[in-house]
Amino acid sequence: MQLTRPACPAPLSPSSPEAPTTLRRTSSTSADDLDPAFTFDFRPLEDPGERQRFSTWLEVEAGCRGPEPRPGWVVASRAAVDTELGVLKTGKEADVHLLERAVPGDPHQSVVMAAKRYRGEDHRSFHRSSAYTEGRRTRSTRDARAVARRSTHGRAVAAGQWAWAEWEALRRFWIAGVPVPYPVQIDGAEILMELVTVDGQPAPRLARTRPSRAVLSGYWEQLRDAMAELVRHGVAHGDLSAYNLLAAGDRLVVIDLPQTVDIVANPAGLDFLMRDCHTVAAWFASRGLDVDEHELFADLLTAL
């Protein structure tokens, strides 16, 4: 049976969506035609409140939902409601919010995710674009011109492109087994992904931690493996640092991947890889680990 969901604006704005009080059946079948064994599952939904919307899970196309096998915590129910819990972090190009997706009254279907929303209106986001994206093409010349002109449409296109690039990277590398957050869905400039936590709290950035020596060397091994896997796929992270790595207990998680650089097609690709090596090796060395950026770089090249 088909139910119509109200078109919910995404991302949420504080001045909340005007959702109708009920969902409507759109099937042309009248109630009289129904098989008596059929359970009529229509029930009015309460109006989503301020900072709420109906789950957008079924609104997006199949390719905009996360890869299989999906983790058990993903809430895919039609009855789910998204609730804005607040801002986790504001950044230059995007803000990361906490978003709960839950079926009201069902404690087993409730999850808090990270909602990363790219800002369309931020001019600074254009500054680093060209060096990273050299070799990639914008699908329509109209969109390319709009991006270059920085018109309102162009800014929206660019926000969507950054979000899409990060979505593709998360999908690809989650499938490849790289420790990245599970990508739940993309809707325009908003990506919903696994919230990486430690002891029930959002995991800190590596830069903010003081790990023991044993944990530190464990992190280094994980980081090398993750970077090698990216290189096997022909890419460098492009903005790797202790700020884009989350320390989840013993586990390191790589985040912030909209600018992955093609190290073969992009003429500056290997420079980006070297810069990543330099940044992370310098951080680990500053914490007392005996590591060398050139050794790391050379090791990684063997994975190409």
Q: Give the footprint of Mg ion on this chain (CB under 5 A).
A: 244, 256
* CB-CB contact of 39 with 77 (8 Å): no
Omega cis (within 30) before 204: no
The entry of Mg ion, ligand ADP, none near residue 88 (CB within 5 to 8 angstroms by kind) is ligand ADP
Q: Which is nearer to Mg ion, 256 or 293 (CB)?
A: 256
Residues 100-129 that bind ligand ADP (CB under 6 A): 114, 116
What would the two tokens of residue 225 be?
Answer: 């493996």
Is residue 249 within the footprint of ligand ADP (CB under 6 A)?
A: no
Helix or strand or coil: residue 23? Answer: coil
* 299 in catalytic set: no
Q: Which is nearer to Mg ion, 76 or 198 (CB)?
A: 198
Is residue 165 within the footprint of ligand ADP (CB under 6 A)?
A: no
Helix or strand or coil: residue 145? Answer: helix
- Smallest CA-to-CA distance from 244 within 174, 186, 290, 181 is with 181
Mind spelling out the 3-state secondary structure of 266-302?
Answer: CCCHHHHHHHHHHHHHHHHHHCCCCCCHHHHHHHHHC
Please state the closest distance from residue 245 (CB atom) to Mg ion, in A.
10
Phi, psi of 284, deg, nearest 5: -65, -35
Residue, CB closest to Mg ion = 256
Q: Which residues contact 221 (CB under 8 A, 6 or more apart)?
A: none
156, amino acid identity = A
What would the two tokens of residue 2 be?
Answer: 């088909």
Please state the closest distance from residue 66 (CB atom) to ligand ADP, in A.
13
The entry of Mg ion, ligand ADP, none near residue 180 (CB within 5 to 8 angstroms by kind) is none
The entry of ligand ADP, Mg ion, none near residue 205 (CB within 5 to 8 angstroms by kind) is ligand ADP
Is residue 202 within the footprint of ligand ADP (CB under 6 A)?
A: yes
Helix or strand or coil: residue 108? Answer: coil
* 47 in catalytic set: no
Q: Which residues contact 202 (CB under 8 A, 6 or more apart)?
A: 88, 98, 114, 195, 196
The entry of ligand ADP, Mg ion, none near residue 114 (CB within 5 to 8 angstroms by kind) is ligand ADP
Q: Which is nearer to ligand ADP, 194 or 262 (CB)?
A: 194
The entry of Mg ion, ligand ADP, none near residue 82 (CB within 5 to 8 angstroms by kind) is none
Phi, psi of 206, deg, nearest 5: -55, -40
- Which residue among 55, 125, 222, 244 contacts ligand ADP (CB under 6 A)? 244
- Which residue among 64, 75, 79, 94 contacts ligand ADP (CB under 6 A)? 94
Q: Which residues bind ligand ADP (CB under 6 A)?
A: 88-89, 91, 93-94, 96, 114, 116, 181, 193-196, 202-203, 205, 243-244, 246, 255-256
Q: Which residues are catalytic?
A: 239, 256
